[in-house]
Amino acid sequence: MLTLSPEEARRRIGRGETFDALIVSGSLRLSGNAALRTLPSWLRCTALHVDDCTNLTALPLDLYVDRVSARRCPQLWEVEGRLSVREELDLSGSGLRVVHADLHAARLTLADCTELERLDGAISVTHLDLRGCGALSILPDSLHVTQSIDVADSGLRALPRHLRAGLRWRGVPVDARTAFEPESLGGREVMAIRNVQRRRVLLERIGLDRFLADVGGLVIDRDRDAGGERSLIRVPFNDDEDLVAVLVQCPSTGGRYALRVPPSIRSCREAVAWMAGLSVTAYHPTQEA
């Protein structure tokens, strides 16, 4: 069994040497190595860093480590084997399609793995982050999560019955209705929520148009453009900044929609100028949409 210092391991792997089994007496830092394609099949080290290794295709099949950071590895399509990670295994933004492994970790982060379709094997974690995993629509019965699952912008529409982990939406605790049934929420419910973070999540889930249709608001300005009448609406919150939105109409489709703007905006024209990235004095469209 070969044992190397972190510096020697990085140097030898960097020049293309391969190893079936390797012990590194510290952290193995290989991030940004575009030539790296594989790692030792059996690896022991304190931490493994392979972020932005654009040609890396696999993690070790037998890995025991405190931390792994393998973010933004587009060719890392599958994780398999036996992985024991004492703290966090972070695979966010990678090209993962399948995780099929005997995997144990305190935290498994798969955020923005947009092509991930399947989790399989004996996966046991304390926290699971699935934010942005839009292609993932189901979780297996074999999955074990003890504390929290973040499902924001994932393809999930429910959790398996056996999972009792708390739901999160970008880190904010939510219930199953907020996470999976936003169409059942109402604007008045949003207004009744006292926790600011949770209220913001509910507002995101219900959508600005439906929220304003339910609660109305104070009209603080009106004018007209090529699409018709525009309105600037304010909804005050006691413990958060006011919600201000401009209601506009598309001249080609006739559809009306709301666009949120900073609470300091005072006119429809100023709101539209802000959305165009201009000051109201510099905004002179030939035809306003």
Domain count, the chain: 2
Give pLDDT, residue 289.
43
**C-alpha dist (Å) from residue 50 to 57, 116, 122, 157, 242:** 11, 19, 24, 32, 43
- Looking at the fold, whether 70 and 156 belong to one and the same domain comes out as yes
Q: What is the pTM of this model?
A: 0.88
- Looking at the fold, whether 32 and 144 belong to one and the same domain comes out as yes
Q: What is the pLDDT of residues 1-22, one digit of tens each?
A: 799 999 999 999 988 999 999 9
Q: What is the pLDDT of residues 29-69, one digit of tens each?
A: 999 999 999 999 999 999 999 999 999 999 999 999 999 99
| Residue 190 lies inside a defined structural domain of this protein | no
Domain hosting 178: range is 2-183
- Looking at the fold, whether 157 and 228 belong to one and the same domain comes out as no
Stated as kind and residue range, the H or E segment containing 82 is strand 78-90
Helices 196-206 and 208-215 cross at an angle (nearest 10°) of 100
- Summary mean pLDDT of the chain: 93
Q: Which residues of 201-210 are buried (b: 16+ CB within 10 A; e: fewer)?
A: bbbbbbebeb
- Looking at the fold, whether 28 and 163 belong to one and the same domain comes out as yes
**Residue 44 · residue 62 · CB < 8 Å:** no
**Residue 30 · residue 50 · CB < 8 Å:** yes
- Looking at the fold, whether 176 and 240 belong to one and the same domain comes out as no
- Looking at the fold, whether 87 and 143 belong to one and the same domain comes out as yes
Q: How far apart are CA 254 and CA 225, in angstroms?
A: 12
- Looking at the fold, whether 156 and 221 belong to one and the same domain comes out as no
Q: What is the pLDDT of residues 77-107, one digit of tens each?
A: 999 999 999 999 999 999 999 999 999 999 9
Polymer length of the chain: 289
- Looking at the fold, whether 118 and 63 belong to one and the same domain comes out as yes
| Residue 255 lies inside a defined structural domain of this protein | yes
| Residue 254 lies inside a defined structural domain of this protein | yes
